[in-house]
Amino acid sequence: MSNARTHVHSRLKTGLIAGLFAGVVILAPAALFLAPKQDAPLAVLALPWQSGAALRIAAAAGGSLIAASSEGTVAIVRSDDPAIVGNLYSAGALLVLDAAPVQACLRMVAKS
């Protein structure tokens, strides 16, 4: 019985290590691809049940609004301030990403 238990424990350990490795292999490139780029537009994501929150966050952080989702939970902003990413998080952003892939996936309304 003890030998069977050791075998199961070994398989669980191997599966856990393989799963963690697969997660890193998949998530690391995605994180690099979506990371905010210097001097590029940023996508500001807010909680989906807070309509207009991304717009308020962008304004509070001092970003210039380029576009937004119709619900205002995603905003595309630009800023020359090197601290804009930190300012967006401080203002309540759930996530700040490079805007290019986000704009490719979501329908945005241009703001003037």
Write out pLDDT tens, residues 30-53: 666 667 777 889 999 999 888 899
How far is the C-alpha of 25 from the C-alpha of 45, rounded, in Å? 25
β-strands 109-110, 64-68: how paired?
Answer: antiparallel
Q: Which residues contact 43 (CB under 8 A, 6 or more apart)?
A: 74, 75, 76, 96, 97, 98, 99, 102, 103
pTM: 0.71
3-state SS, residue 74 = strand
Nearest CA to 100 out of 33, 53, 55 is that of 33
3-state SS, residue 96 = strand
Between 14 and 76, residue with greater pLDDT = 76
Residue 25 shares a structural domain with residue 52: no
CB 77 within 8 A of CB 44: yes
Number of domains in the chain: 2
Please classify residue 77 by burial: count the beta carbons closer than 10 Å to its beta carbon, then call 0-12 exposed, 13-18 middle and 19+ buried: buried
Q: pLDDT for 63-108, tens place per residue?
A: 999 999 888 899 999 999 999 999 999 999 999 999 888 877 777 6
Residue 27 shares a structural domain with residue 57: no
Residue 5 shares a structural domain with residue 53: no
Residue 46 shares a structural domain with residue 21: no
Domain of 80 in residue numbering reads as 42-110
